[in-house]
Amino acid sequence: MELIFNTADELDPRGHYDTLKGKIMASLFFESSTRTRLSFESAMHRLGGNVIGWADPSVSRYGDPTRGETFEDTIRMVDDYSDVMVIRSPQTGLNYYPYIAADIAIVPVINAGYRLPAEDMEHPTQGLLDIYTIRREKGRIDGLKIAVRGDIRYDRTIHAWLYGLARYHVEILLACPDGGEPPGKYLDYVKKNRATYRKVSLEDAVREADVCFVSGAGSYRGRKLDQLGEHERVDAMKYIEEQGIDLHKLKGAKKDLIIMNDLPRSSIHGFTIYPEVDSSPYAAYFREAANGVRVRMAIFSLIVP
| Contacts to ligand CP by CB under 6 A | 33-36, 113, 123, 126, 262-263
Phi, psi at 113, each rounded to 5°: 115, 130
Residue 125 Cβ, how far from ligand CP at the closest point, in Å?
A: 9
Least distance (Å) from ligand CP to the CB of residue 76? 26
What is the distance of C-alpha 269 from the center of its chain? 19
Closest CB to ligand CP among 37 and 153?
37
**CB 253 to ligand CP: min, Å:** 24
Euclidean distance between CA atoms 174 and 182, whole angstroms: 9
State the burial class of residue 231 (Cβ atoms within 10 Å of its Cβ: 0-12, 13-18, 19+).
exposed
Least distance to ligand CP, CB of residue 231, Å: 30
Q: How far is the CB of 198 from ligand CP (least distance, A)?
A: 27
Closer CB to ligand CP, residue 82 or residue 126? 126
Q: Which of 44/253 has CB closer to ligand CP?
A: 44
Output 55 or 303, the one with its CB closest to ligand CP. Answer: 55
User: How many residues comprise the chain?
Assistant: 305
> How far, in Å, CA of 303 to CA of 44, rounded?
12
What helix, strand, coil percent values describe the chain, rounded to 5? Answer: 40, 15, 40
Of the pair 71, 161, the CB lying nearest ligand CP is at 161
From the list 298, 304, 300, 222, the residue with the least C-alpha distance to 11 is: 298
Q: Which residue is nearest to ligand CP (CB)?
A: 36
d(CA 169, CA 196): 8
